[in-house]
Amino acid sequence: MILNRFIINKVRYILEDVLCPCVRDSVLFYLLLRIVYGARAKRLAEFRSRAATMSADEMVSYYKLFPALLDTTDVNQACLDRIASTVVGEEIVDVGCGRGWLANHLSQSTHKRVCGVDFIVPNDLRTKYPDVRFIEAALQKLPFADHSFDTVVCTHTLEHVLDVGGAVAELRRICKHRLIIVVPSEREYKYSFNLHLSFFPYTHSLLNRLAPLPPVHSCEVLDGDIFYMEDMRGVDGP
């Protein structure tokens, strides 16, 4: 799991920072998509240009057609360690929990009450991770009251939404104390092997999308991914 994420970030660095854009955006990369995905390559190449007008059902169909490459978690070890040492309080939610690995890890390592939320929750997760409460819901409209969770965790999810500001506002709404966000440090190119819609090549790329920022916050690159934390205590929560 951790080794795979390390390799992914190294490959991404070569493709995005070493190769020049004229090569990265060339038809050669579409041909590479064809080799990897076959007939599905055309749909993947069209994803970003169609995303703004897609229905929720169409979006779900894409994620079923192109499942995540990692079947456990895409959080690297450095970010995983930082999350575990940064969560506070008794109620934790992992928004965009994917296959549920991180939510279960937090439940087992912190012995706190953990909820996992995603717009698709695989049928086997509740049996596989019985200590985690899983809820199927959209990030843009979470079914929780204001300040429901002491810590809100959202890893490798904001890159999948167009309205980053709206999504973060919803994360802040349900957050009582601490908000933790992890996104890939990634550039946008014409052809991609993922379903990402928003891109954060630098820490300020993320910070500008999160503004206005609370007085207490931090943002840094950890092993190729951006780790952000803000403390809501004394800002707009009890």
Encode the chain (238 residues) as per-residue pLDDT tens digits: 444 677 777 777 788 888 888 888 999 889 999 998 999 999 999 999 999 999 988 998 998 898 876 667 789 999 999 999 999 999 999 999 999 999 999 999 999 999 999 998 988 999 999 999 999 999 999 999 999 999 999 999 999 999 999 999 999 999 999 999 999 999 999 998 899 999 999 999 999 999 999 999 999 999 999 999 999 875 444 3
Walk me through the domains of the chain, giving residue ranges and CATH numbers: 1-238 (3.40.50.150)
Q: Are strands 225-231 and 217-222 parallel, antiparallel or unpaired?
A: antiparallel
Q: Longest Cα pair distance anywhere in the chain, in angstroms?
A: 54
Apex 132 CA angle, 179 and 69, nearest 5? 75
pLDDT for residue 154: 98
The residue behind tokens 């749909």 is: 43
What distances in angstroms separate CA 140 from CA 51, 147, 155, 169, 205, one per listed residue? 15, 16, 15, 9, 21
Collapse the DSSP code of 153 into the 3-class scheme (helix H, G, I; strand E, B; otherwise coil) and give the result: strand
Q: Which two tokens stand for residue 212?
A: 């206005």
Residue 157 burial by Cβ neighbours in a 10 Å radius (0-12, 13-18, 19+): buried
Taking phi over 0 as left and psi of -120 to 50 as alpha, with beta for the rest, 98 belongs to left
The residue behind tokens 């994360």 is: 171
pTM here?
A: 0.91
pLDDT for residue 4: 64
pLDDT for residue 234: 52
Q: Which two tokens stand for residue 58?
A: 């169409």
Beta bridge partners of 220: 227
pLDDT for residue 70: 65
Nearest one of 180, 136, 175, 173 to 158, comparing CA atoms: 180
The residue behind tokens 């999504």 is: 167
pLDDT for residue 48: 94
Contact 131, 114 (CB under 8 A): yes
Question: Residue 173: in which H helix or E strand, if any?
Answer: helix 164-174
